Structure 1
């Protein structure tokens, strides 16, 4: 059943975004936990633009290596999440990551983590079991009905971060470049992480 969930996810995905990773000299570079997925399809979008699985390979747009580089956006979090390797994201730019202890969803607004399984089959099963929560697919579909196709490299976010009252409503969301969005969230997190509960926060439009 667990392997079937991954097979179903791959079937829902579009065309691979990167070349085949089957040659041994390439495959050896891929983190072992990701091999069952990326060696079958090297990066893809699924459920419209809602789920983005990043491809592996240095010369591919939006690839895992570039995304996890310190100077892409990670330095904005000052070490938070450095034990994670991020490989996919939902429509809102919330991250999916691997860790020595398993698979997690990572909230970049709070740095909270949600455990999603010991391996990629369990991760796929949990994700497929609640697509609305883990991908935001219905909101992505509604947003595109209102605004047209979501440009490649962009995710959806409200003017006020979700953690501070932003709404999960298509009408309230804008399309923001993924790197810009993560840097913004890292900056906000660092400014607010030590504030006491109930502190007043203002966001400029």
Structure 2
């Protein structure tokens, strides 16, 4: 992988590690999670700290994705995320994509090995890195433990040029996305919504 800005410390969460499929265990033995492509991809590790890097917390913690999103099952493994906080899940051997604004899930029709292969070959498309590239062109930089905030949200009709980009701590960004999903999940397509200034986070 290119553009590595963080590599996890050695495995320190044996309980979570034991629940993982063999191919993910093999990957994490070599490197216990990583932030690559200058923040474009974050693969979580088996560790209690830092909290933003913890696979165990994302999978079974207080704010686990299956507790927040109706489309996510308790057995889905949230092994990675993109630069804005959308999630990549393992359901069996299939890699799924969770849109964390809308809660919609898409089957990427690849397994873990081919997911990594696609990311290596076509990172911009495979990881939806256009917002990060635009942020970088404006002089921005994501640090380990940060995700890119997009306002207005992508699911709200707006021009690309009008969207504001800024870095936020991972957990703050994911909390915002979960709150957004909870508020809009019952709305019909095309329905008008109003955002307060607080919602711009």
| Superposition TM-score tier, normalisation by shorter sequence | 0.7 to 0.9
Q: Can you list the C-alpha shifts for 1:51-81, whole angstroms capped at 9, x where unaligned?
A: 1111112344421112223423537725441
- 1:104–1:115: 8 Å Cα contact kept in structure 2? yes
Give a deviation string over 1:174-202, Cα, whole Å, max 9, x none. 11222222222222222222222321111
Return the offset for 1:144: 3.6
Instruction: State the match for 1:156 in structure 2.
Output: 148
What is the count of residue pairs matched by the alignment?
193
Tell me how far 1:99 sits from its aligned partner.
1.0
Which residue is equivalent to 1:71? 62
- CA distance 1:115–1:125, shift in 2 (3 Å): farther
For 1:56-135, list aligned pairs within 5 A: 56-61=46-51, 62-72=53-63, 74=65, 77=68, 79-83=70-74, 84-135=76-127
* CA distance in 2 between partners of 1:118 and 1:171 (Å): 31
Moved segments of 4+, more than 6 Å: none
1:185 to 177, 182, 186: 177
Out of 52-61 and 95-104, give the one that drifted further: 52-61
Contact preservation (8 Å) 2:71, 2:104: no
Q: Is there any run of 5+ residues in structure 2 with no aligned partner, and where?
A: none
Offset of 1:166 from its aligned partner? 5.3
RMSD (Å) for aligned C-alpha atoms: 3.0
Following TM superposition, by how much is the alpha carbon of 1:14 offset from its aligned partner in structure 2, in angstroms?
Answer: 5.2
Instruction: Give me the TM-score of the superposition, normalised by structure 1.
Output: 0.77
Given that 1:109 and 1:188 are in contact with CA atoms closer than 8 Å, whether structure 2 keeps it comes out as yes
1:43 Cα shift?
A: 0.9
Residue 191 of structure 2 corresponds to: 199
Q: 1:141 to 1:104 in 2, by over 3 A?
A: same
- Ranked by relative contact order (alpha carbons within 8 Å, sequence separation 6 or more), the top structure is 1
